[in-house]
Structure 1
């Protein structure tokens, strides 16, 4: 798994998220049980071009309301951190926090191979 990009200076405050001590394995695994959310996290881990990304960067052909739901589920589970930049939200994986609580979990996500599309 590649190293996460360093946090740039002057970022907006993150949206509400659980503290590291409050991250629960069953909540994280529940959020990752959805194949689309698993794909989002894997793409962030392996293909990030910047520190954080808008939902449009993922190239997902889903309604905006559906994507909003999935990104909120990831944030509320403590997997991603989101920040508001004007009208858009950008996300990145909380790598250090998740590695501290659940060593090896993100390596499994990164090693996961998505099924071929039919």
Structure 2
């Protein structure tokens, strides 16, 4: 399972990963929760589709996956991304929160 180093993360890949509503929902949940097992993500897609979305997020450098026995735990690479693209996640998450209001 490839997770790019922060030096490999590119803005175009991050923006592409954030361009999908399901992936945005996952990022929002991780921002609120810190770390979640994959099975606890609240998204209305099939498990196989969710796996593809999680792959896109991971390969873009937005998330970190931590295996633990038979579960995979996801977290947002918030600190690293904030250093690389200051304000980007705040803007995206702020817009996501505002869209729900």
Q: TM-score, normalised by structure 2?
A: 0.87
Indicate the structure (1 or 2) with the bigger Cα radius of gyration.
Answer: 1
Verify the 8 A CA contact 2:28 2:96 in the aligned structure 1.
no
Does residue 17 of structure 2 align to residue 31 of structure 1?
A: yes
Question: Which residue of 65, 70, 77 corresponds with 1:82?
Answer: 65
Residue of structure 1 in register with 2:84 after alignment: 101
Q: In angstroms, what is the RMSD of aligned CA positions?
A: 1.6
Which structure 2 segments of 5+ residues have no match?
Answer: none
Aligned mates of 1:113, 1:97 — CA distance in 2: 21
Does residue 48 of structure 2 align to residue 62 of structure 1?
A: no
Query: How far 1:113 sits from its partner (Å)?
Result: 2.9
Verify the 8 A CA contact 1:41 1:109 in the aligned structure 2.
no
Query: How far 1:90 sits from its partner (Å)?
Result: 1.0
State the Cα deviation string for residues 9-38 of structure 1 (Å, max 9, x = none). xxxxxx531111111000000111011101
Aligned mates of 2:11, 2:43 — CA distance in 1: 27
Q: TM-score, normalised by structure 1?
A: 0.76
Aligned partner of residue 112 in structure 1, secondary structure: helix
State the Cα deviation string for residues 76-117 of structure 1 (Å, max 9, x = none). 00000001112221100001110111000110122023656x
Aligned partner of residue 113 in structure 1, secondary structure: helix
Aligned mates of 1:87, 1:77 — CA distance in 2: 24
